[in-house]
Amino acid sequence: MVSETAIPSRAASTPAREAWRAFAGNPAAMAGLALFIVIALVAALGPLLYPVDPFAIVSAPMSPPASDLPLGSDYLGRDVLAGLLDGGRVTLVIGISATCCTVSIGVLIGAFAGFYGGWIDAVLMRVTEFFQVLPPLLLAMVLVTLFSPNLMTVIVSIGLVNWTGVARVTRAEFLRIRQQEFVLAERAMGAPTRRIMWRTILPNALPSLIVITTLLVGTAILFEAALSYLGLTDPNVMTWGLMIGQSRNYIWETWWAVTFPGLAIVLTVLGNCLIGDGLTKALNPATRAR
């Protein structure tokens, strides 16, 4: 729960710096940040430094790691390491794009619900409840299946199913902040609604939103992995989930082809989690004070 003291919209610099200091003092959070940065760098630079096409057959099929290729080859003879590097790029891009989608939808819905209240709030909350009743991953599977598996469908589908948490948090924040003195003052002065919502209230809701956004990236990555494991993805694009899914029938003969992509997912989401945790603690003045 975020503190009671109002954070004036202009004086955001000091709390931010304080938050950063709190974050930096948290070894787990820093470890997560380091991990995530490393992974992002590897994903961005890896394919440039190790320019092997993940789809190309470059070795004898099913060769173990360190024999011919650093991480071995899969059942077709494709380079597992190349798959990891290329897959990293795609996975991160999808994770971040889908999260942008999710956050956009969630913030819009939550903001309107929290700001206007009344029947708008009631309707939007029912919609949110509705989307909570449909299991998100299942809904994403259905959407991708119905609308044909390609990258766009995957991103939009993941984006469409995960927004309820964001909406709730945004709504709660808007409800709280709109009653603050400075907001009431602006309204009294006749400032346009748009300005109040997006220029005044939203920035103050950021701390909670940042946390939930960060964690959503991890969720999006896990969703993408599940969808591509099931084959619900563009088969011309290598992702970690796709690697695991395609080697489904060969897990004993080529355990490395399923182990390494999975480890990559774990590490990425772990780093993301640690950052999220760290941000939660850092942005929450109550715990900061300790």
Structural contact between residues 165 and 214, judged by C-beta atoms closer than 8 angstroms: no
Using CB under 8 A, count the residues that bind another protein.
60
DSSP annotation of 248 reads G
Provide the β-strand partners of residue 57: 78
| Binding of residue 149 to another protein (CB under 8 A) | yes
The nearer residue to another protein, 96 or 137, going by C-beta atoms, is 137
Stretch that binds another protein, among 41-49, 93-101, 105-113, 129-137 (CB under 8 A): 129-137
Q: DSSP 3-state assignment of 224?
A: helix
| Binding of residue 203 to another protein (CB under 8 A) | no
Q: How many residues does the chain have?
A: 290
Q: Work out the end-to-end distance of the chain between its first and last CA atoms, rounded to an integer number of angstroms.
A: 15
Structural contact between residues 94 and 227, judged by C-beta atoms closer than 8 angstroms: no
Map the footprint of another protein across residues 46-105, applying CB under 8 A. Answer: 53, 55-57, 61, 75-78
Residue 27 CA, distance from chain mean position: 22
| Binding of residue 152 to another protein (CB under 8 A) | no
What is the nearest approach in angstroms of another protein to the Cβ of residue 175? 21
CA dihedral 145, 149, 151, 155 (to 10 degrees): 0
| Binding of residue 220 to another protein (CB under 8 A) | no
What is the nearest approach in angstroms of another protein to the Cβ of residue 276? 10
Map the footprint of another protein across residues 162-191, applying CB under 8 A. Answer: none
Tokens encoding 250: 């060969």
The nearer residue to another protein, 106 or 261, going by C-beta atoms, is 261
User: Which distant-in-sequence residues (6+ apart) come within 8 Å of 290 by Cβ?
Assistant: none
* Residue ranges in contact with another protein by CB under 8 A: 53, 55-57, 61, 75-78, 126, 129-130, 132-139, 141-143, 145-149, 218, 222, 225-226, 229-232, 235-236, 241, 244, 246, 248-249, 251-252, 255, 258-259, 261-262, 265-270, 272-274, 277
